[in-house]
Structure formats: structure tokens, C-alpha cells
Amino acid sequence: MSAKIDPITRSVVQHRLSSIVKEMGEAMLRTSYSQILNSSRDFSLGVCDTRARLIAQADHLPVHVGALPWATIAVEARFKDVQPGDVFLLNDPYHGGSHLPDLTVFVPVFDGDQRLLWTIVRAHQSDIGGATHGAYNPGATEIWQEGIRIPPIRLSEAGRPREDILEMLALNVRNPREFRGDLAAMLGAAHLGERRVAKLFSEFGAPVVEAAIEAILDATEQQTRAVVSTWKDGVFHGEAFLDDDGHGRTDIRIAAKVTKKGSDIEVDLSESDPQSTSFVNSSHANMQAAVAMAFAYLIDAEIPKNTGALRPLKVIAKQGTIVWADPGRPVTMCTSHPSNEIVEAIIKAMSASCPERAMAGWSRRFRIAIQGEDPRTGKQFIWHMFHARPGGGASSGGDGYSSIGEWHSVGGLKFGSLEVAEARFPLHFRQHEFREGSGGDGQFRGGLGVALDLVLETAKPSRGNTAGDGARHGPCGMLGGEDGQPHHYRLLSEGREPRVLRTKEVGIELQPGDCLEIRSSGGGGWGPPSKRSAEARRRDAEQGFTSVSTERRG
Amino acid sequence: MYTIGVDVGGTYTDLVATDASGRTTFAKSPSTPADQSIGVMTGLDELARRLNVSRAEMLAATDRLVHGTTVATNALLERKGARVALLTTEGHRDVIEMREGLKPDRYDLRSPPPEPLVPRELRFGVRERLKANGEVLIPLDERSLDEAIAGIRKLGATSVAVCFLHSYLNPVHELAAVERLAKALPDVSVSRSSDVLPQIKEYERVSTTIVNAYVEPIVRRYLTNLERRLKEAGLKGSLFVILSHGGMAPVEEASRLAAGTVLSGPAGGMSGGRRCAELLGIPDLVPFDMGGTSTDISLISDGQASLSADGLLAGQRIALRSLDIASIAAGGGSIAHVDSSRTLRVGPESAGSIPGPACYGNGGQAATVTDANVVLGYLDAAAFMGGQRPLDRAASEAAVDRIGAAMELSRVEAAAGIYRMINLNMADGIRLMTLRRGVDPRKFALLSFGGAAGLHAAEVARELEIKRIIVPTVASVLSAWGMLTSDLRYEMSRTHYGKGPRITAGEVRELFAELEEAAAGRLRSWFKGPLSIERSAEMRYGEQIFEIDVSLDGLDWNAADLVDQIEQRFHRKHEELYTYASPGQEVVFVNARVAAVGAVAPNDQNTKPAASAGACTPRGTRQAFFGGWREVPVYALETLQPGHSLTGPAIIEAETTTVLVDTGDHVSVNALGWLDIVLR
């Protein structure tokens, strides 16, 4: 490889690659079929080379980004005869994937007969088969109960889609039309990227592009090392706890030992607790991605998130632990849990090394889905709650965002209109407002969660499922800041005792008129509360951010 | 009789007058941001001088003065609007601060959230509630309303936004609240959501209503004051304001819907672009308006500018329909810098007009795009702005040298690099715009206007594989010129809530008939000429959340299968935009939209006879960088006549703009006197 490339050409190639992944993202957003993609934007795009190095990615879902190289390794290992016009697909967490609902497609980019790069699209499917609708099965004790497993397969061969395979896949999910629509959107975006990258080769010539890529990765590495080298050296420890696994185990510990020396960082998760029987285990790729995500949050926002940025980072973990499960274990929850706890443990450890950069805890995911019959139409409905977004963590930069999200989504997940939800589903949003007093106190206050009172306007009983965590452990305070209030969801039902909902329940019976009293968590506070300015406290009081006032209204 | 267009930009106020014979006269005058009407009046003086009449004579002979203003835009950008309070449904007062759960920049977790336009203590929940079908669930509680009004009084809000859930179906509670507000606080302005944007989706509606409340008092004050000054100065005709949707409206209407004026300026450029497309017979144009600090990009496809309701300005969601214009914060003043990975970046920081590029000599040290253009010989330092404002070439060289030193590059390599990067930024903007609209940029021609566009158009076009560039003679004042061709326009929309899952033909006809009658009635109160109606609908597939806007013009309204035909249009449009359609899938009819349009006759065809000779003579030559240093012919735009042609490399200069013709590119001057450039 030529080490010398003129800096303007490098700048141009870098700019091009980043605009290519942006365009792929735009195409995905505009063409995908299901709400989880076109609204909640649960997808990511990247360009990797044949050595599985991430060259460029669009800022969509941080938890996907560090995972793409591992998926690429799996495809490269399996297929030695890649031809122009081929398309590859995988989802299996024991073959390079993170969890089953995330499908990943790969399109090879050739320059003449030389294969150089991959354009990659990963997107979360609203269903992937398995025992329960929507992929999240708290009851699963093995991966076969979670959905269809797809190792690296050839989805198109020399430009011809393999319809037989597509049919088999679509047959194994509950919503084949959406599945096919979303897959078509993924392929469209990957091919758009392929055409644009191919044009880059034809314009500059492959040797120049390759040399530019080396220079881009090296420059990003230097940029990252320059940042890391300003942090304090030492060995630092952090830990975070999952509430439970839904199968009887509580306070499952994720332990991070971080060794920082010069511009190198080693994250060792080996002391984390043993794996679980339920879906809160992490796959290997997802664990790697979670560590990369924590590191990405600590360095500068402007640094491109490519393989060069991750070169200073070394990851050590032990198979058989909660962060890296043995083959066959269920893992569907892992992109949120234990990802969120892995991030939290690392950032807590690093708060001793780079305190100004360590942000307080963002929230954890607590989802709820309701399945029932709409009395206005007599039709079945399934509703997934994206509302009541929890609070974000405070930082040295100021207070946290309210109603914003979790560590793994950080403000990338949109909730839809209540008016539309009320028009389309037999639901009444009696209250959907900030949950006062939920943000952790500190020099800078955590963002607020949301108080949602949701009334079922059904005529027959319906059923709810939950999946998530964080009802026991609130988002962590940082450097003297206090924890945010944890999630607290209750079911209020005429003639039944109010009941606190657990984070991993299946088949909750919901009667007509029942109210789900949802209180999502607030973000963690940063710095000691004694340092909060009088002016900030006055504004908090005026705006009712801190007063724990009327919990019930309306 | 004259018709006058006045466009207030960040630096200059542009004015254009046409007379009955179609003769067009331009003038420019410095903008006066503190009170834009001062610059407007000074500009009118200059325009009258160029017409050889007095200002009073000119205004007395003016039937229509069309105005594009940035008063609302600046109030939002600079946060100088009214102190706004919100009255909303109890239990739902944080909608704007929740921002649908989104934040920009995924990896920036150390920046605090933006301050909402209405802080929480000024957001009042009122006890009332409608159901999703518009029925009253909880009647409006007067005591809680009075408590809120007392709070507004106590906190001293000067403008109030009223937005209740589901009011798009039934405004009864909003109307009652507004009535009570008006009695209790007669001096406070009120914006009502069921008036501003009677559409489903509370975030869009509440945000748009709040923006309206925020800018309404300042826009009303400005326009009323300007109208008074114009009348005092002798204006006989009417003052109209260009709205974000590209149509114009009288002062009262523009004030009522002040949030609809935030794109008033660039909207003139779009109207100008559409008129260019018509005059040239080129239906597919990319209007490319590159100025000092920002660049506006839009699309004219099949002769039509498209409208969108995705508006976002200064972080505020404005869901009124407006021309689809992408504004990129980059232009001649964009600053080049070398980041910590030694990568060259251009923008987003801008030197603005103060201190401006290094070559302005106002103390700017940073190398800007304009400095690179000076170093490369594209801009003539001595002749800038017709020689009124010569540039400091040595300052440009020193600034560019600093970039060169940081990257171990020569001066000219650094300058060429800056030039390349800004062009990539521009091309990206156009590519995203075309991608969103599902069209291929290669079939478009680039319409180059605005002070800086001519210097960059050729390379931007090449980057996109665009083959043709048009530079109109009105390039430097195209927005003001475009305003002369804007139609009067009044828009209305309504959300459909049906009894069954699918709308019926009867419901369609009834819904549109009501809207059409109301819209036409409103327009007739301003305009006596012929009137037409445009119909469209926003629809989506059952499970989707984005609606798309589908034109219903030209459908047989009495056909028995009207709804089928409407759905056919939707499927086709969906396929055009997103590459696929799903016939057989449930189609949901969400919003009906009607525009009443009063067309004005354009009067601007300045065609000239072709010159006898095809060749033309340069006024001189200068050293410029075209792959290497070359002695390049320089032409004066005003000497180029219809029928003339030339081949690059060449530089064509006018008082306020410079056009670069790349090696091998061919320029012909068309019958309008405009440059028609075909790339090699």
C-alpha cells in the first residue's frame, strides 16, 4: 500500500464515502415499509473492506456500528467465490450477527474483476418468527425459540435473486409482506451504495481509493489517539447491574476493568457474571459493539466512527458470561440489555480517567406491546409503545435531554403522534407529560422521563407483553450526581389491586377500561448537587422539573 | 404602469421593476436589518433614479408591489420574537419540548438540549378533552381556563398559542378559549391551531402554532408600518407579500399566517426559476442560488416546483406547506480549516459579511471560499463589485497559505482543494434533494444565480453529471424578478376522519367543496381576476407514518370510481418516490388540501434580436488556474449579445457576479441574452 496520498484526494474520498452512506440512509428511510424502520429508524449502514474493516458509516444506531465488521468477517469466512451481482444475508448471532431481528445484507463492490469493498445495510425486522410476535420472547431459554436463524447465505447469485430462499424466509415470519418490503428497501439502499462506490473507483482508480482509505483510517487513528492520550493513565473499574433475567436471577453484574496507558485502552469484561438462561445474554458481536459504542461516546463527536477510531481499543471478555453467551443461548434482548449496562460500566470506570467526558446514565429500555381487538372495527390490533421516552443523562456540558431515550438509541428513536395513535387504536392517552422530579440531581440535572396514563378503550380483554430492564436500577449518577428515578409501570384495573408490572412479562391480562400508569425513568445527574447553581434551581422550580407534584390527574 | 418586486436579503435589498412594455430595470441597495423598510425605501429611490422618474411618480404608477421579507426568518434565527404562552389540553403541555423523542447528532452526548420557544412555566394545561372522532369527552372547564389566563397575565406573555388535542376535527374548545382570551387580554395576539394548521399530529400543529404566535406581532408591525410608509410615499397599488408556498397574499393575510412567511425570500427565487423554465422551454431545472453565507437548492420538475410540509427552521418544526427548498449553510464566505486528522474541511463556519473573507480587509484572517477564488484568479480583486469594493489579494494569499502549511501543500494546491471541497458540498445538497424526490439529477439543467453560483456551477454540474447550465441576465436579482411572476394564492387543508376505513366519493366531494368555497371566497376578497383551484390529498399506506402529497388536478370529479382514481394516483406517486407501490394495500386518506390561485399576467419577455456575428470579443485576459495557470480571456456579460458563442476556458464578468467557463465547455447566448452553457 502506498503510504503517500495527497491530502486533497484523501479529503475528497473521505467526503464521498460519508456522503454515500448518508444517501444510503436517506434511501432506507424513504423506502422501508415498517414503522420500526421508517419512523423509529432502527437501521444502520456502512462500507467495509474485504479485510472487514469499517471504512464509513452513517450515524444511525450506535449499537449497530461496531458490530458490522464482525458480520463481515462471517461472510468473508464462509464465501470464497464472491461474484459481481451477488448479495449475502445473515442474522444469526452465532454467525456474526447481533440478535435475530437484525437482518444484515452485503453487496460486494468490484473494480473490474477485483473485489474491494462491501456496502452493508442492517435493519431490525418487526417480526422474525419464533414463539412470540415481535421477536422479544422473555420466556425463551434457547435461541430456537427466538426466531429463524440465518447464517451467511447467498441471497442473489450473479444478479439473480434466489426466490426459493426468499420464500422460505418470508414463510417463517408473521408479516411476510412487510418483511419482503423491508428487505427490498435494504437491497435498494445497498445497491445504491454499490453504484456510487463503483463510480468512485472509476473516477480515481482503485489504487488511489485504496491508498486514500489507508490514509483515512490512519488519520482517524491518530486523531483518536491524540484525544485519548490527554486522559489520565491507570487501571479503572466500573460496574453496572441488570435488574433481573426474568427467570429468577436478580442483580446480574457487568464488570469493566479498563486499563488506560498512553493512547491505548484495554477493556476487560471477564469478571462479569455468568450467562443467563434467558434472552438477556449478549452475543459476541453485540458485546464488541457495546464496548465500541461506549468508547465512541467518550471521544469527540466529530471523529469519524470507523475502524481507525477503534484501533486504540482492545476488548477482552470470557465466553460463558452474560456479555458473551455460549452457542444456543437466547440473546434477543442484548442490543439494549446488557448493551446499556456494558456502556454504563465502562463509562463509570472511565469517569476517573476523563471526568469531563463521562456522561451520567442514559435510560434503559422498557417496552410494552398490546394485542387485542378494536371495538370500532372488530379487527385485531398490535400496538408497540414507543411513547413515554425516558430521560437522558446529564454531562459536563449541561442538563440532560428529557423524553429522549436509552444508551443504545440516544435520541434516534421517534415516537408517533398521540392523535394518530388514538385514531388508529382503542387507546386513550389521558396524560403524557414530563415525569416531574425523575431526573437525577446534580451540578447538572438528568433529563426527565415521562408520565403516561394510558386507558384501554377495548370491549374485550386484551393481552400485554413487556420486555426491558431498569425498574430496579435507575440510570446512574456520575461524579457525585444522583441516579435518575427508575422505571415504574403499574396496571390499574377496576376490581383488582393495582399491580406493579415487571420488565419481562408475557400475557398480562388487560381488561376494558384498564389504565397503564407508565412512569419512565429520568436520566442520571452529573457532579455533586451542592454545585448546582441557585439560578438553575430557581428555573427548575419555576418550570416544575423538580417538584414531585400531583402524580395523578385527569 | 409598473410592477415592482423587492427582495430583502442578508446583505442587499434587490429591486426589479417592469413596465407595460416588458422592459425590466434592476436596482440594489444595502439591507438595513434593524428596520428592513428603510432599505426598501432607499432601494425604491435608486430604482426610480434608474427609471428616470421621481419615487412618488414611480409609486403612483405602480399597480403591484411584491415583497419578500426575512423579518420572520430573522426573528426565529435570532430568537427575537414575542413572549409566547401556550394554552393546551391538560396533561399534554410538554409536546414541544419532547420533540418526538429525537435529537440531532447521535454521538454528541455532551450538549444540553435547546431551549423551547415557550418555556414550561408559560405552557398552561386547560381541563378539556376531545375524543379521536371530535366528540367532546371533557367539556372546557372555564375555571381552569381562567386560571391559565390569570397566569398568562401574571407572566406577561404578549402572544398566545392555543392548541388542544383533536381540535383539527372540532375547534369548539379552541374557539371558546380564544373568545375568553380576547375579552380578558385584548392586547395580546392569539394564534389558534385550528386556524393555523387544522391537521392531525399534535407535534406539528402545536409547534407551527407556537412559531406563528412567536413571529406574528413582529411581522404584523413591520408589514403594517411598511404599507403605511409606501402609501405615504404615494403607492397607488397594493402591497403583497410572498409566502413560503410561493404564492403571494396581502398584508393582513401574511400577518395572520406569519409562520408562512419564513421562506418568503427564497420563495421568490423558486418563482423566478419556474418562470425561467417556462421561458426556456426546459421543464427540469435545479435552481442553484449560492450566496455569501448560504445556498438554496430546489427542484423544478416538469415545470413545477414541489411543495412539502417538512419545514424546519432554527430547530423549529413548521408544518405549513412550503416550497421544497434545501438551505445549505455554505457559500462564498464558508471557512476552510484543517481538522485534527489533517483533513481539509470547508464550512459550516462562515465569515459572514463581517469580518467576511480575508480579502475584504475587515480583519478576517480565515481562508474562505472567496479567498480561494481570488488566489485561483477566478475573481478579479480590482474589479470586485464593479470596482467599488476592491479585494485585498495579498490577504487572500496569506490566508490560503496557512491552510497550505497545515497540509504541506502549495498555495495553489490548497486553494484548488478548497474550491473542490465546497463544490462537493454543493453537489451533495443537490443529490440528496433529487434522491428524496426520486428523480435523476442528470436530466436536469442547473439554473445558476446568486452572487457566487457562477464561479462554482460548472464543477458542481460535472460532479452530478449534469450537462447544461443556464445563467439568466437577471441572475443577481432573480428572487426579486421571480416575485413579479408569483400568483396570488390561498391554501386550506382539512383532516378527514371517516366513518369507515375507506373514504367514499361522496365524502371526497363534500370535503373539497367546502374547502374550495372557503378558499375561493377568501381569495376573491383580494383579487378580481380569473381564479383557479388546485386540489391535492395527503395519503399513506395503512401501516406507514409518512403521508405523501398527491395532486388531484385533472381528475374527473364526477366519476363513479373517483376514489379508485385517487388511489391510483397515490400508488403511482409512491412508486415514483420510493421505487415501489403496493396495490391492494389499504390506502388511508389523511388530509385534503385546496389552493385557490389568482394568476397574474407575467410581463417580462425581453427577447432581443440575434447579433450578426457569432463570435464576441473579450475585454481582456488574466491569469487563472484551469488545471494549470493559463492566460484566460475575460468577457463583460453586458457585451454578450444573442447569437454570440464562445468556448472555455473563459471568465464572464458582470457587476455583481462572475461566471467561470471551464476548458471545452461551450457558451451560447440565447434570445433572452442569457448564457446557455453546455458542458464538454
In chain A, what is the straight-line distance between the N-terminal and C-terminal CA atoms, in Å?
69
How large is the average pLDDT for residues A398-427?
A: 93
Listed residue (A404, A396, A462) closest to A438, CA to CA: A404
Report the residue from A60, A304, A411 with minimal CB separation from B101.
Answer: A411
Q: What does the longest C-alpha to C-alpha distance in chain B come to? A: 83
Cell numbers 379521536: residue: B132
Averaging pLDDT over each range in A27-36, A175-184, B79-88, which range is the top one? B79-88
- Burial category of A250 from C-beta neighbours within 10 Å (exposed 0-12, middle 13-18, buried 19 and up): exposed
Partnered with residue B491 across adjacent β-strands are B595
CB contact under 8 A, A23 and B435: yes
3-state SS, A331-361, equals CHHHHCCCHHHHHHHHHHHHCCCCCCCCCCC
* pLDDT above 90: residue B311: no
CB contact under 8 A, B431 and A15: no
Residue of B nearest to A361 (CA): B109
Give the range among A527-536, B123-132, B362-371 with minimum mean pLDDT.
Answer: B362-371
The confidence score (pLDDT) of residue B608 equals 63
How large is the average pLDDT for residues B56-73?
A: 94
CB contact under 8 A, B107 and A62: yes
CB contact under 8 A, A14 and B202: no
pLDDT higher at B311 or A13: A13
Give the range among A117-131, A533-547, B11-25 with minimum mean pLDDT.
Answer: B11-25
The confidence score (pLDDT) of residue A550 equals 40
Determine the Cα–Cα distance for residues B324 and B315; give it in Å rounded to an integer: 17
Q: Report B:386-415 residues touching A (Cβ under 8 A).
A: 407-409, 413
Determine the Cα–Cα distance for residues B45 and A333; give it in Å rounded to an integer: 71
* pLDDT above 80: residue B580: no
Residues of A within 8 A of B198 (CB-CB) are none
How large is the average pLDDT for residues A413-427?
A: 91
Percent of chain A's residues with pLDDT above 90: 82
Parallel, antiparallel or unpaired: strands A87-90 and A54-57? unpaired
User: How many residues are listed for chain B in this entry?
Assistant: 680
Give the three cell numbers for residue A423: 385514531
The confidence score (pLDDT) of residue A514 equals 98
User: How many residues are listed for chain A in this entry?
Assistant: 554
How large is the average pLDDT for residues A146-165?
A: 96
Report the residue from B110, B343, B543 with minimal CB separation from A359.
Answer: B110
Residues of A within 8 A of B413 (CB-CB) are 6, 8
Residues of B within 8 A of A444 (CB-CB) are 112
> Measured between CA atoms, how close is A133 to chain B, in angstroms?
17
Could you read off the pLDDT of A298-310 as tens digits, one per residue?
999 989 999 999 9
Q: Which amino acid, residue B530?
A: P
Give the three cell numbers for residue B438: 426520486
Could you read off the pLDDT of B480-535 as tens digits, one per residue?
988 988 888 999 999 987 766 789 999 999 999 999 999 999 999 888 889 999 99
Residues of B within 8 A of A401 (CB-CB) are 103, 112-113
Determine the Cα–Cα distance for residues A380 and B542; give it in Å rounded to an integer: 14
Whether B417 and chain A come into contact, CB under 8 Å, resolves to yes
Q: Report B:545-574 residues touching A (Cβ under 8 A).
A: 545-546
How large is the average pLDDT for residues B137-160?
A: 97
Residue A552 banded pLDDT, cuts 50, 70, 90 = very low
CB contact under 8 A, A14 and B343: yes
DSSP state of A486: P
Determine the Cα–Cα distance for residues B283 and B303; give it in Å rounded to an integer: 4
How large is the average pLDDT for residues B166-182?
A: 97
* pLDDT above 50: residue A488: yes
Backbone angles phi, psi at B149, to 5 degrees: -65, -40
Contact call for residues B298 and B441 (beta carbons, < 8 A): no
Query: Average model confidence (pLDDT) for chain A?
Result: 93
Q: Hey, of A216, A380, A419, A425, which one would you mutate to test binding to chain B, going by the most B CBs within 10 A of its CB?
A: A419
CB contact under 8 A, B109 and A15: no
* pLDDT above 60: residue A549: no
Whether B629 and chain A come into contact, CB under 8 Å, resolves to no
Determine the Cα–Cα distance for residues A409 and A65; give it in Å rounded to an integer: 12
Q: Which amino acid, residue B602?
A: P
* pLDDT above 90: residue B575: no
How large is the average pLDDT for residues B149-172?
A: 97
The confidence score (pLDDT) of residue B614 equals 65
**CB atoms closer than 10 angstroms to residue A275:** 22
Determine the Cα–Cα distance for residues B287 and B276; give it in Å rounded to an integer: 10
- Burial category of B541 from C-beta neighbours within 10 Å (exposed 0-12, middle 13-18, buried 19 and up): buried
Determine the Cα–Cα distance for residues A327 and A318; give it in Å rounded to an integer: 13
Tell me which H or E stretch contains B653.
strand B650-653
Residue B538 banded pLDDT, cuts 50, 70, 90 = very high
Residue of A nearest to B97 (CA): A402
> Measured between CA atoms, how close is B360 to chain A, in angstroms?
26
The confidence score (pLDDT) of residue A379 equals 87
The confidence score (pLDDT) of residue A2 equals 47
The confidence score (pLDDT) of residue B12 equals 81
Query: Average model confidence (pLDDT) for chain B?
Result: 91
Collapsing DSSP to helix, strand or coil, B621 comes out as: strand
Task: Give A105's contacts (C-beta < 8 A, 6+ positions apart).
Answer: A87, A88, A89, A120, A121, A122, A155, A183, A186, A187, A190
Give the three cell numbers for residue A435: 415525569
Task: Give B437's contacts (C-beta < 8 A, 6+ positions apart).
Answer: B299, B301, B306, B324, B577
Q: Hey, of B88, B106, B589, which one would you mutate to test binding to chain A, going by the most A CBs within 10 A of its CB?
A: B106
The confidence score (pLDDT) of residue B655 equals 76
How large is the average pLDDT for residues A536-551?
A: 82
Parallel, antiparallel or unpaired: strands B159-163 and B84-89? parallel
| DSSP secondary structure of A272-328 | SPBP-SSTT---HHHHHHHHHHHHHHHS-TTS--SHHHHTTEEEE--TTBTTBPPTT
Collapsing DSSP to helix, strand or coil, A503 comes out as: coil
Task: Give B445's contacts (C-beta < 8 A, 6+ positions apart).
Answer: B282, B284, B285, B286, B466, B467, B468, B469, B470
Contact call for residues A439 and A523 (beta carbons, < 8 A): yes
Q: Hey, of A4, A10, A14, A15, which one would you mutate to test binding to chain B, going by the most B CBs within 10 A of its CB?
A: A15
* pLDDT above 80: residue B352: no
Q: Hey, of A417, A519, A540, which one would you mutate to test binding to chain B, going by the most B CBs within 10 A of its CB?
A: A417
Report the residue from A31, A403, A453 with minimal CB separation from B101.
Answer: A403
**CB atoms closer than 10 angstroms to residue A159:** 10
Residues of B within 8 A of A181 (CB-CB) are 580, 582
Parallel, antiparallel or unpaired: strands A313-316 and A264-268? parallel
Residues of A within 8 A of B407 (CB-CB) are 7-8
Report in angstroms the alpha-carbon separations of B462 from B427, B458, B626. 9, 6, 15
The confidence score (pLDDT) of residue A554 equals 31
Listed residue (B364, B380, B265, B330) closest to B657, CA to CA: B380
The confidence score (pLDDT) of residue A352 equals 97
The confidence score (pLDDT) of residue A3 equals 46
* pLDDT above 50: residue A1: no
Task: Give B672's contacts (C-beta < 8 A, 6+ positions apart).
Answer: B279, B280, B472, B473, B605, B606, B607, B608, B642
Give the range among B123-137, B218-232, B282-296, B363-377 with minimum mean pLDDT.
Answer: B282-296
Determine the Cα–Cα distance for residues A401 and A449; give it in Å rounded to an integer: 9
How large is the average pLDDT for residues A233-255?
A: 97
How large is the average pLDDT for residues B238-252?
A: 94
CB contact under 8 A, A399 and B420: no
Q: Hey, of A5, A230, A363, A433, which one would you mutate to test binding to chain B, going by the most B CBs within 10 A of its CB?
A: A433
Collapsing DSSP to helix, strand or coil, B351 comes out as: coil
The confidence score (pLDDT) of residue B378 equals 96
Task: Give A101's contacts (C-beta < 8 A, 6+ positions apart).
Answer: A91, A124, A125, A126, A127, A128, A135, A147, A332
Task: Give B376's contacts (C-beta < 8 A, 6+ positions apart).
Answer: B412, B415, B416, B419, B624, B625
Residue of A nearest to B426 (CA): A19
Query: b/e per residue, A448-465, with b = 16+ CB within 10 A?
Result: bbbbbbbbbbbeeebebb
Cell numbers 434482548: residue: A333
CB contact under 8 A, A7 and B417: yes
Contact call for residues A297 and B109 (beta carbons, < 8 A): yes
Cell numbers 407575467: residue: B602
Report the residue from B119, B408, B420 with minimal CB separation from A12.
Answer: B420
The confidence score (pLDDT) of residue B516 equals 95
Report in angstroms the alpha-carbon separations of B288 from A272, B161, B378. 57, 36, 19
DSSP state of B338: E
Kindly give the interhelix angle for B411-437 and B453-463, rounded to the nearest 10 degrees.
70
Residue of B nearest to A381 (CA): B543
pLDDT higher at B326 or A317: A317
> Measured between CA atoms, how close is B424 to chain A, in angstroms?
8
Residues of B within 8 A of A302 (CB-CB) are 339
**CB atoms closer than 10 angstroms to residue B542:** 11
Could you read off the pLDDT of A183-226 as tens digits, one per residue?
999 999 999 999 999 999 998 999 999 999 999 999 999 999 99
Residue B604 banded pLDDT, cuts 50, 70, 90 = low
The confidence score (pLDDT) of residue B293 equals 78
Could you read off the pLDDT of A22-81 as tens digits, one per residue?
989 988 887 887 777 776 778 999 999 999 999 999 877 888 878 999 999 999 999 999
Residue A548 banded pLDDT, cuts 50, 70, 90 = low
Residue A412 banded pLDDT, cuts 50, 70, 90 = confident
DSSP state of A167: H
Interface confidence: ipTM more than 0.85: yes
Listed residue (B44, B26, B160, B542) closest to A177, CA to CA: B542
Contact call for residues B587 and B339 (beta carbons, < 8 A): no
Residues of A within 8 A of B341 (CB-CB) are 219-220, 222-223, 303-304
